[in-house]
Amino acid sequence: MQTEAGRSLPEQALHRHTKDIRLTFPSSPLSVRRALQTIVADLQELELEERGSVELVLAEVLNNVVEHAYGADERGWISLECATERDGLHFRIRDEGRPMPDDTPPMGAPAPLPEVLDKLPEGGFGWFLIKDLSRDVHYSRLDDVNELTFRIKVDTSPRKN
Amino acid sequence: MQLSTRTEKDATIITVEAERIDAAVAIRFKDLMRDTAEGCTGRIILDLGQVDFIDSSGLGAIVASMKQLGDGQKLELAALNANVDKVFRLTRMDTVFPIHASLGNAVNSHAN
């Protein structure tokens, strides 16, 4: 795992920097967990709740890559970039796994909750959470590479203390 | 990921001894819950006080844990931190599980 976060960043200058974070890591649940912990540690400037939303959205996006683009039996790399702009954190996730079905991300609509306990869904929450907590979700497939970009609105102005 | 169990009043308390219930441990969590809940009767309170992150895989595993319970067993949740609580609210799973602010509240809610 590599990180460039913080290396060239002066302290307290989270805002108005581009390419704040760049990570590349193998497709596996434990690598995703480590990547999330690295990113969250790099975003200490954010409010706790904002950091929670960022970690959740990234977890859902990255788990989808591990489980669906590559699948359990396939090795591959995932790259993550995060740029901080005035309107929030801009993310770009790339992988070389299978394309999304129909070349488009799922709608992520919440299913109505069934009356019967046995029919409760155990999955399908991921895209709903991604779309609920992020903006400008865009997927493209170019030369065997999946690219998903999205923005998470956070307060990126310098801290007032 | 470990679960510890104790009994208080009429309830079995299962404490999740982990900071995360995520995709890396979701299946293990579900299996541990099945083994731990086996033989319990009545209320089962899942103490999430140590958990500071849950993703949709972890949420699915908790739903699955509830669905695999036997007759007469009931799963309730307690001591969710803000980020964990948010996942339940956004997915409306807070309408499916009784959720208690603290373990004490959970234990005492049936104290009569």
Q: Which residue reads 């470990």 in tokens?
A: B2
User: What pLDDT is stored for residue A114 in this prediction?
Assistant: 80
B65-76 average pLDDT score = 93
Q: Is the ipTM of this complex over 0.90?
A: yes
Backbone angles phi, psi at A43, to 5 degrees: -110, 35
Number of other CB atoms surrounding residue B2 within 10 Å: 9
| Cβ within 8 Å of residue A101, ≥6 positions away | none
More confident residue, B75 or B10: B75
Specify the fold of B2-106. Transcription Regulator spoIIAA (3.30.750)
Task: Say if A58 falls within a structural domain.
Answer: yes
Task: Return the CATH number at A62.
Answer: 3.30.565.10
Find the angle CA(B14)-CA(B56)-CA(A68) to the nearest 5 degrees: 130
Q: For residue A73, give the 3-state DSSP assignment.
A: coil
The ranges of chain A with pLDDT < 50 are 3-19, 161
Every domain of chain B and the residues it spans: 2-106
Task: Say if A102 falls within a structural domain.
Answer: yes
pLDDT tops 80 at residue B27: yes
Task: Say if A96 falls within a structural domain.
Answer: yes
User: What pLDDT is stored for residue A11 in this prediction?
Assistant: 47
Amino acid identity, residue A41? A
Answer whether A126 sits within 8 Å of B22, measured CB to CB: no
The kind and range of the H/E element at A135 are strand A135-142
Distance in Å, alpha carbon of A31 to nearest chain B alpha carbon: 9
B86-99 average pLDDT score = 94
Backbone angles phi, psi at A20, to 5 degrees: -65, -40
Distance (Å, whole) CA B70 – CA B57:
22
Task: Say if A4 falls within a structural domain.
Answer: no
| Cβ within 8 Å of residue A144, ≥6 positions away | A96
Task: Find out whether B106 and B85 touch, Cβ atoms under 8 Å.
Answer: no
B82-104 average pLDDT score = 95
User: What pLDDT is stored for residue B51 in this prediction?
Assistant: 98
Task: Say if A95 falls within a structural domain.
Answer: yes
Contacts of A118 in chain B (CB under 8 A): 67
pLDDT tops 70 at residue B36: yes
Task: Tell me the two tokens of residue A110.
Answer: 């919440």
Q: Which of A30, A43, A56 to mutate to test the interface with B (most CBs of B within 10 A)?
A: A56
Task: Say if A111 falls within a structural domain.
Answer: yes
Q: Does A49 touch chain B (CB under 8 A)?
A: yes
Q: Report the residue of chain A nearest B97, measured CA to CA.
A: A117
B44-71 average pLDDT score = 96
Answer whether A52 sits within 8 Å of B86, measured CB to CB: yes
Nearest CB to A122: which of B20, B24, B60? B60
Distance (Å, whole) CA A97 – CA A59:
17
Task: Say if A43 falls within a structural domain.
Answer: yes
The total of structural domains in chain A comes to 1
Treating both helix axes as pointing N-terminal to C-terminal, what angle do A29-42 and A48-64 enclose, rounded to 10 degrees?
Answer: 150
Task: Say if A7 falls within a structural domain.
Answer: no
Q: For residue B95, give the 3-state DSSP assignment.
A: helix
Q: Report the residue of chain B nearest A122, measured CA to CA.
A: B60
Q: Which domain holds residue A139?
A: 21-152
Answer whether A113 sits within 8 Å of B23, measured CB to CB: no
Distance (Å, whole) CA A155 – CA B99:
30
